Each structure stands twice: as C-alpha cells, then as structure tokens.
Structure 1
Amino acid sequence: MPEGLLMFACTIADIIERFTGAEAMVMGDVTYGACCVDDYTARALGADFLVHYGHSCLIPIDATQGMKMLYVFVDIKIDTSHFLETVRFNFRPGARLALVSTIQFVSALQAASQELRPDYEVCVPQCKPLSPGEILGCTSPQLAQDTDAIVYLGDGRFHLESIMIANPGIPAYRYDPYSKVLSREHYAHERMQRARQEAISTAARARTWGLILGTLGRQGSTHVLQHLEARLQALGLPFVRVLLSEIFPSKLQLFPDVDAWVQVACPRLSMDWGEAFSKPLLTPYEAAVALKEIEWQQTYPMDFYANQSLGAWTPNHASHQPQRGPRRPAQKQEAGPPGVKEPCRDCRCPDTSPSPAPRPEAPGAAGRPQPTEQQPGPKCTGTNSPDAGTGEKGLVASPVE
C-alpha cells in the first residue's frame, strides 16, 4: 500500500485476522504506484492471497504469480460543489473540457462531469487499461486538438505533467481539492525534448549498452527487456543486464564500462532526472529511436502502459499479449413470455420506468430486471502518450474559499 496508508496497516491486518482466521502480513516496501504490485515477494513469503490498496488494476489479477489478487481502491470524498462552481466561474459555457484525475478522485470526477454536461462539452477520456478519466505519470491519452482545456482534479503535478506532455498544445489547469485552488499549469516542453534528444544522440554512439530491469514490484517488463535485447543483438552491440529495485546515479557509476543505459522501470525517471546521470539513461522508447527502430516523435508518447501503444518497447503492446483462441458462437436465447422485456445481454439494468398496472405474472418472469435506456455521452478521442519536468503556475480566480 502507499506510504500514506501505512498508518492503517496494523488495524487492517488485525481485522483480517479476526474475521478470517488467516495470518496477515504487511509488506512495507515503498509503493510508488499501480506498477508496484509485489506479487513476486508475496509468493516468496508463501502468501496465498495478495491485497493491494490505493491503486488501480494495472496488473491483471490473472497475471499474478500463483496467487489470487484483490485491488482495494481508496475513494477520497471532496467538496464537489466548490469544484463545480470554480469550473463554471473560470470557463465560458460551451467550452470543450477534458476532465482527468487519479484513481482516488475518479468517482468525484465522474459525478462532476454529469453536472457539467448541460453547460459544457465534457470529455472524460480513457486510455485503456486505465479507468475512464484516470491518468498515470507514464500513461495518458492524446486528446482532440479542438479541446479548449484540460482540467485535472488532484494534488501534485506528477500525473498532470503526463497528459501535458501528451498534449502540448492544450492549456492545462489543476484544481487542488485540499486547498480548493484552481491554477494554470505550464510545462517546459522544449527543454525536456532538447535534453532527451541530446541523451539519445550520445547513446547512439555507445559501444557497450546496459539494460536495467526494474525489480520494484512489476515496474520491470521481461517482454520489453527481451525486445531490447533482440534489437541490440541484431545490430551486433554488446550489452549487460542489471537488475535494480531503485536506480541512483552513484549505483550506475560502479559500471564504468557501460556507455549508455536503458531502464525498463519508470519512464519518468529518465525524463525527470536523466540529466543527473553521467551516462545517458534512456527510456525504452528513446532506445528505439537511438537504435534506429523508430523516428523521433514530435509529440513525446506517453503510452507506456497503454493497450494501443506505439511499439513493442511498451509492456502492453499487442505483440506481448497471449494469443487467444476463437470466440465461441453466441448461444441463441429463448424469447421470454409475451409483453415481458428481456434484460440487457451484457448487464443487468434495473427497471426505472413506471410500474404497469398489476396483472398475473408470466411463469418464470418474477423478479426479472428490465432494461433502462441510456443516453450516449459525448464522444472524445483517446489515444495514448507519457513525460515529466518542471513548470510554473499562476492562480486563477476561484469563487469561494
């Protein structure tokens, strides 16, 4: 669980032991995000069941190593009415707004989007496998170019910078639910791109490469590592593999024979702190550029965990997905009694229509739910992209404190 929740860890462990009779262990290692699911360590400890608190389901529950998995979201309640008033005060009616957040505020974001739709063209973009409106520091959607503004609900800039990098031409605003302040945010796009291109240019001349596989939870991807290895072997370039839980400049200085590094852990580590390392520290995407696998993209891609990503240097690229067999043909369903509506095929929707006059029930129809018509929401473009950096912010008028 995130460090902010560790204060509740002993209480949760006591509750689990009291009501289940199972032995509970608290894994107190650092957890930066949804990529830090540590099922490998849990298996080594002999655990049968792993509960991960506070993050979204980035690692599929059927992909964990020999154990069952449960994600427990943390839903933080905010003053939604103040957020709505602030948006209405600062944006003209009819503006095209993209609303995004982190997983702990997504439910508040969804509720707010419904309230804003009568007055604005609201888009809650989705970058699968993330939830609608959710963004990560390394994974964000590319929005339609006619979007007027990005409104981020959350504290801090790390996740917001991701969608700013993926959409450099769209103004971004951050509403802090704790301070209740809306601020215009900026990102140094040119500086970041210039620094990353210099690192790529230096790495392209490297004779010996180092490949770092992150071992902090599931940050490292063996599929991506194997893809990079195959590319280096095809070019006849020697390389060394290094496994690290956390990556520091002083640690890499212990390998003086390595001319360039590629870290398969967190892309933002290279983007935000790459200049602190004496040798180039590339992301897998940047390595693909340096190794002539792809051209440099004008808009830096923030698609590290996206299902529809730019190439095989990302963990969820189609080339890394297991081959699925042909789908079974849909079975023909028998029609219900006359006058009785059939429920939706993919869900069980409650019937919200007025109840008809009482009449004798058809056999087998008692308690059968009825479908509800839903109005389609506004369409929005969702593709994927990642990044990091520094920025400036200026306060924007807020109607209430």
Structure 2
Amino acid sequence: MSDTVIQVKNLSKKYIIGHQQQEHYTALRDVIAHGTKNLIKSFKNQNSNVNNYQEDFWALQDVSFEIKQGDRVGIIGRNGAGKSTLLKILSRITEPTKGRINIKGRVASLLEVGTGFHPELTGRENIFLNGAILGMSKVEIQRKFDEIVAFAEVEKFLDTPVKRYSSGMYVRLAFAVAAHLEPEILVVDEVLAVGDAQFQKKCLGKMEDVAENQGRTVLFVSHNMNALSTLCQSAILIEKGQIKYQGNVFDAIEKYLVSYSVDDSKEISQYRLNKNLKDIYFKSVEMISGNTQVLFKETIGFEISILAEKKIENISIGGTIFNSMGNPIGAFVSNVVAVEPKKITTIKLEIAKLNLSPGMYYMGFSIGEGNFMNTSRIDYDIIIGYPRFEILPFNEQENIGVWNPAWGNIVLNECLVETLAFIQ
C-alpha cells in the first residue's frame, strides 16, 4: 500500500478579476448623469458600464507534487504566489478550475485566525463546534478537551465568548483544537505569526511531535525561514502560481531568498533603510574583485564611497555578513576616518581568508560617528542586502566544501588534537 497521502496532478485555479476604468476627477453632476445613463441602459438590456472589463487571473497553473505520510513540508513564496490558494484547495474550501487531488485521511486546517469559530460562542463551546467541523465525535473531543485547554492556556477565559478574545488567544485556541484532534494531515498557514515567541516555539514543537511520533503529515506556510528550517524536512517553492523547486528545505529557502532579493540593478537606494538622509550617506558599495563568486578562504574586499554634507572627524563603517536565511553571522568595522564636506570619500575594507562555508551571503553596512562598539554610536545611513556573494569550494571535483547546513556557516580554525595513552 502506498504511503502517499497527498497527490496533486496538473492543478490549476482561475479567478475572474473585474476592472472599472474611472475618470481622475468626477463632479457630483457627473455621478448623477452617469447613474441616469446606467438606469436607462438597464431598461434597454444593455451593458450597464462599457468601461467595465474582466481579466482571467491564474492563481495556480499546472501544479503537481506528492507528499508522503509523516512528511513535514514547508510551502514558501512571495505574497501572491499562490500558497494560500493551494492550501484552500487542499482543505476543500474552494474548488480547482482544472486538475486532480487525491487526499488520504482527515485534514485539519488553520488558514486564518479563528477559522471555524463562532464569535458569540464561548471558548468551551467552540472547541466542540470546531471539533465537530473537523469530523470528530463528541467522545473524541471530550477525551482531548483538557489537553487542548492546557495547551491553549485559556483556562481563565474558557467560558467567555471568543469575540472578546485577543487575536493571540484566538490563534492559541484554534491551533490547539486543530493539533490535538488527531487529523491525519495538519495544514497551517501564516497565522502563527500572530502569537508570541513562546507560543510559536510551543506550536513548532507540537507540529514536530505530531509528524515524528504520531506519523502525521504537516503542511506549513510561513515567511519565517528559521521556523521553516527548524520544522520542515522538505519544501515547495511557488512563484507566480507554479512550482519552481521541490526538495531539501535549506535549498528551497536559499533559492527563495536569492530570487527574492537579487536584483541586477546596483542602485543603492533600494537597499537603504533610512530614507530621510542628512549629513552623510552611502554613494556606492562594490566588491573590489568585481566578482560575486569567492573561493573558500579567499580574501574578500569592498570599496565604499560616501558623501558628507558637513565635516565629521570620526566616521567609521560597520559591516555585517548575513547568511541566506537572513541571520547575521559576523561583523567587522573600519578605522575611524575624517570626511570633508561636499566631497566623496572612498574607503576599502578587506577580510583575509574568509572562513565561510560554501553558499550564498549578503552584506549590511552602516555609517556611524564614533567607535563601532560604542553604545552611543549614531548611525547616519544603513543599507542591508547588498552586495551579495557566493562562497565556492576549493575544488569542485574533490567535493570540498559540501557542508551540512546543520554544521553552521562559520568554519572554525583547525584545532590541536592530542592523543593520550590509554591506561590498562
């Protein structure tokens, strides 16, 4: 018997988008006249607005994949890529336009805050209501009731109508019901972002337990790459309604982040955090080699040009290296320099023998007054996400530098190993 629990073949979903062309300025007399014309046209069975037109929008196009029992699969992509549409189809909330889906087992979905809850009912009543919607018997719900309440941490408000719950309480109770009522497939959208950090950690642990120890399947949509890499073994990357990659979660995250951030344009303004610039700011940041691919343990350098509006005696440049998941993994700083007004100052920064494992990285830079380590330092300009570079292994034929992502990004110096004699 096959252990495939979700099989999707050539799935497509089309929506009809209505557009209405409007004038930039409309007076009251125009509204009255336009309404009168439309009323006359309706009596004549004519189109009520010739300026209206419709457009076909394919949220998903020819999507195919299979998921095995017990898999923890992340679904990632930009906003509007089609992730939520896919989950709604899998949860039978909406019907596909084309294609076929085979699902083996009961599906519990948590796609929006308070999905399946009635605002006028209490937390206690909604546990039974939501459980019934998920196909559970009253006996099953009663058996799991205490675990659900304890996990959601809403004992004090159990007999309060959920319309008075905060969004975080909504999520806690909704997730607790979905996770504890033993569905074969648990589908979770971005809603966990509403909860606090402690509850998110608890939810991730519960989903991991549901998959590993109970053999259930989890589909998890999130923009939190750390959460995805912690929970999921594999991932599906969706772009513009189509699957661009399916496989290892770390490879999927890297492809997503690279496709999301890489831009051939070298306009530094698109990476700038502070839009209200004054006094001093970055003009350009370039890699000295001009090449965005760097060999493992090779020296890496940056040429940074800054422009000041006034004379400042003690300027320094701080740099931060981020890995492909957006985590800062190292920092460095330039010497303190003086800058002259209305003149471009160029500073070169180099890191010798960069001990980073092969993979994609990107930079962040800041211009500040005073020492980089000083807590009172003032940052005038900050850019994050540029330039990006890739660390390559020494020799691809020897497969040097193929790291397991769990080992981390920093390759430490060689350690001294001393073998001691064994005493019989």
Give the number of the structure whose alpha-carbon radius of gyration is greater.
Answer: 2
Identify whether the pair has TM-score above 0.5, normalized to the shorter chain. no
TM-score interval for Structure 1 and Structure 2 normalised by the shorter chain: under 0.3
* Bigger RCO (CA 8 Å, 6+ sep): 1
TM-score by structure 1 length?
0.27
